[in-house]
Structure 1
Amino acid sequence: MSQSAYVAGVGMIPFTKPGQSKSYDLMGADAVQLALADAGLTYDQIQQASVGYVYGDSTCGQAALYHVGMTGIPVFNTNNNCSTGSSALFMARQWIESGAADCVLVLGFEQMQPGALKSHWDDRPSPFARFDALCDDINPFPEIPLALRYFGGAGREYMDKFGVGPEIFAQVRAKASRHAEHNPMALLRKVVTAEDVLASPIVFPHAKLTRLMACPPTCGAAAAVLVSESFARKHGKSSLVRIAGQAMTTDYPSTFGDRSMMKLVGSDMARAAADRVYEIAGIGPQDVDLVELHDCFAQNEVLSYEALRLCPEGGAEKFVADGDNTYGGKVVTNPSGGLLSKGHPLGATGLAQCTEIVTQLRGAAGVRQIENARVGLQHNLGLGGACVVTLYQQASFA
């Protein structure tokens, strides 16, 4: 890899409940127009496009982009479950770094249905079969939807391992609501307390998992424009955000071999990806100012603190109690409100995280701006599995 990739523009639309959004193609086109305008570029300057979505037919990416322009460029469609948006970003970043292209577009969108996630291909082997079998073995509660059993079971394992109660997850959810209050793009902006979270309906009694600890199904879209340094200089782009390191990992033998729900939901993938990124960038977790991490459940945010080395193993309870996960603490986690409050349109989530971090590093986040934010870390996880961790830095050209 011979050159760095820079984020020249980002754009996203407000996330909404299923049934209240435009169709996926129109949402995607809106996000692209916003990213192009933010970058000060036009669609005919885009050389390649990487598009991510989970629930949709082939070439949905083209359907969205054709509303913006039809220039004959290569369009690649990506599906990596909940890490889809960051997987599309990973591919686009490689194009820039390898010199294959100098200006590329990344788009993620999702038009979701209400209720629990489900497969739409029941006439063939499920890619989750091995995961589901282990989950059924460890958490034999067939009446509970699998996503709740996965992350609720991981939370239960964490509570048992470190002697903490569900209050830690409630505090994380309450923090997310306080952050989302000032984010106009977030789906849920009502502030809730930890007591409210614990008092909400219990959806998995064995794990003490309540409804407010889970992210809602959401529709939305987000996009980013990546450029090379030479393109930026040629077009007078002097202040951008650099992708200083990025890694994607998939499952290890420990995912299934260690009979651990925490590892089944990706803690080992996340740890390995984060370690690789810190090594690539020459930047440690102590240097990170903000993190947008994959809090599909409050339980997973707690696991991710430790996987990303934001605190020691078993140290999440103190990390949360000391306020080190919010403004005035060590590292602001999910200033956007995260998936718990902002929402989780699967294909769009990775690009929405990118948008928040870039906005913060530009100093343009308004009320939720983190003081002197210079380094941001992104963690996007998909079961099945893939984890993408990305580190961003402020950058400028003389």
Structure 2
Amino acid sequence: MKRVFVAGVGMTKFDKPGKPDPNYPELAQQAGTAALADAGISYADIEQACVGYVHADSTAGQRAVYGLGMTGIPVLNVNNNCASGSSALYYARQLVAGGLADCVLALGFEKMRRGSLGTAVHPQATDPVGKFVKAAAQLREPTGAPVVLEMFRAAGLDHMERYGTTREQFAKVAEKNHRHSAANPNAQFQDVYSLEEILSANLVCDPLTKLQCSPTSDGSAAAIVVSEEFVDRHGLADQAIEIVAQALTTDTPDAYDNAFNLVGKGVSEQAARQAYAQAELGPTDVDVIELHDCFSINEILSYEALGLCAEGEGATLIDAGATTYGGKWVVNPSGGLISKGHPLGATGLAQCAELSWQLRGEADRRQVEGARVGLAHNVGLGSAAVVTIYRKAAA
């Protein structure tokens, strides 16, 4: 397998949905153009493109990249629910690692409706997450909230009952991520909230208030994925970030056994184990993390899934300040999904962009001092998890 590098990244500002313009082709063009400029190459250098999205038609990937050029290259459309962007990155990396291409564009975008996520499934078609929804309803009496909220509510209440986690500890996650996003010009929200403001915000589904939930968002992000030979030919060693490990996992038979696995903890644990083994690194070697905090509950679960702490001890990390500046790791310096925003297909590639900037020392006011190793974690219900470990090429 060849070594694989991210040579350039770009993203749009994530924004509140509902505006007709810019539409997804314009968003994709902005992100893709920025990534190409960052790498100092042209679209003519791109040999293939992998494009992640959820709420668009089957050839939207082609329409998205045509604003960059129409060169006849293969375009792979990737839909893996909220993990679509990182799945696009995964397939781009495979093409380069397998020697099938030297330069691949990984692009993600989303143009979303306002309000809670619904289903796009035809009424007569099988709902791909239907078994997960049914299992969640058997664990907890449904409240009538949107199904995704119901599932994370069940996981949160289970964590509280099993391990004594409190509403205040979940709220501390949101306080941290909103505070981090104030330094991110690309974030959808850049307001700082006190713990009291987060706890007293509108209750959307106990124990979650509105400020603990990721918003629907419009946006795009992109990465230029290249071989070592490409890095050398184009003199990109000073900015190239190596993908030293990456794993994409799906469910095993225990997926329906408990509320934690229903929201992706099991697939996240699998992906983390595989990625650490590939990289020959562990959680203590990582400096900066972008993880899938679609709800504050999931950040606590993800601490445990990624091996930052033992089962049931995720809340102790937030109490100790271990996951913010001055702690053992800085988790979601971008503001995470909760505050940066969550345009589904763009999220995984926005994580790639943030970690590339962090490891290059280009993250401005949110820079993690001395960051050398970064980890990204992206989950799609139904389920898929992608864990990617990055390291500065010159390190």
Report the CA distance between 1:139 and its aligned residue: 2.1
Query: Partner of 1:246: helix, strand, or coil?
Result: strand
Report the CA distance between 1:142 and its aligned residue: 4.7
Paired position in structure 2 for 1:235: 234
CA–CA distance in structure 1, aligned partners of residues 275 and 142 of structure 2? 37
Counterpart of 2:123 in structure 1: which amino acid? D
Consecutive unaligned residues of structure 2, counting only runs of 5 or more, are: none
Paired position in structure 1 for 2:75: 75
Paired position in structure 1 for 2:176: 175
Report the CA distance between 1:351 and its aligned residue: 0.3
In structure 2, which of residues 362, 365, 385 is the aligned counterpart of residue 364 of structure 1?
Answer: 362
Report the CA distance between 1:309 and its aligned residue: 0.6
Moved more, 314-323 or 34-43: 314-323
* Percent identity for Structure 1 against Structure 2: 49
Paired position in structure 2 for 1:89: 89
- Pairs within 5 Å for 1:272-287: 272-287=270-285
Paired position in structure 1 for 2:193: 192
Consecutive unaligned residues of structure 1, counting only runs of 5 or more, are: none
- Pairs within 5 Å for 1:16-165: 16-20=15-19, 21-120=21-120, 121-165=122-166
- Pairs within 5 Å for 1:279-358: 279-358=277-356
Counterpart of 1:234 in structure 2: which amino acid? R
Query: Partner of 2:273: helix, strand, or coil?
Result: helix
CA contact (8 A) 2:108 2:221 kept: yes
Report the CA distance between 1:109 and its aligned residue: 0.1
CA–CA distance in structure 1, aligned partners of residues 98 and 91 of structure 2? 11
Counterpart of 1:219 in structure 2: which amino acid? D
Query: Partner of 1:133: helix, strand, or coil?
Result: helix
Once the two structures are superposed, residues 213-237 of structure 1 have per-residue CA deviations (whole angstroms, 9 ceiling, x without a partner) of 1111000000000110011111111
Once the two structures are superposed, residues 14-40 of structure 1 have per-residue CA deviations (whole angstroms, 9 ceiling, x without a partner) of 000112351111101111000000000
Report the CA distance between 1:396 and its aligned residue: 2.6
Report the CA distance between 1:317 and its aligned residue: 2.3
Query: Partner of 1:351: helix, strand, or coil?
Result: helix
TM-score (norm 2): 0.98
Report the CA distance between 1:143 and its aligned residue: 1.4
CA contact (8 A) 1:107 1:348 kept: yes
CA–CA distance in structure 1, aligned partners of residues 370 and 229 of structure 2? 27
CA–CA distance in structure 2, aligned partners of residues 49 and 305 of structure 1? 32
Query: Partner of 1:167: helix, strand, or coil?
Result: helix
2:215 matched to 1:216? yes
Paired position in structure 2 for 1:385: 383
CA–CA distance in structure 2, aligned partners of residues 147 and 234 of structure 1? 47
Query: Partner of 2:276: helix, strand, or coil?
Result: helix
Query: Partner of 1:347: helix, strand, or coil?
Result: helix
Moved more, 372-381 or 136-145: 136-145
Query: Partner of 1:396: helix, strand, or coil?
Result: coil
CA contact (8 A) 2:143 2:150 kept: no
Once the two structures are superposed, residues 28-67 of structure 1 have per-residue CA deviations (whole angstroms, 9 ceiling, x without a partner) of 1111000000000000000000000000001101111111
CA contact (8 A) 2:107 2:223 kept: yes
CA–CA distance in structure 2, aligned partners of residues 106 and 304 of structure 1? 25
Query: Partner of 2:345: helix, strand, or coil?
Result: coil
CA–CA distance in structure 1, aligned partners of residues 92 and 351 of structure 2? 16
Query: Partner of 1:354: helix, strand, or coil?
Result: helix
- Pairs within 5 Å for 1:248-287: 248-256=248-256, 258=257, 260-287=258-285
CA contact (8 A) 1:243 1:391 kept: yes
Where does structure 1 differ by over 4 angstroms across 4 or more consecutive aligned residues? Answer: none
Moved more, 135-144 or 329-338: 135-144
Counterpart of 2:69 in structure 1: which amino acid? G
What is the count of residue pairs matched by the alignment?
392
Counterpart of 1:176 in structure 2: which amino acid? N
What value does the CA root-mean-square deviation take over the aligned residues? 1.0
Once the two structures are superposed, residues 252-290 of structure 1 have per-residue CA deviations (whole angstroms, 9 ceiling, x without a partner) of 11111x2x1111111111111101100000011001001
Counterpart of 2:195 in structure 1: which amino acid? A
CA–CA distance in structure 2, aligned partners of residues 202 and 74 of structure 1? 46
CA–CA distance in structure 1, aligned partners of residues 13 and 59 of structure 2? 24
CA–CA distance in structure 2, aligned partners of residues 61 and 30 of structure 1? 14
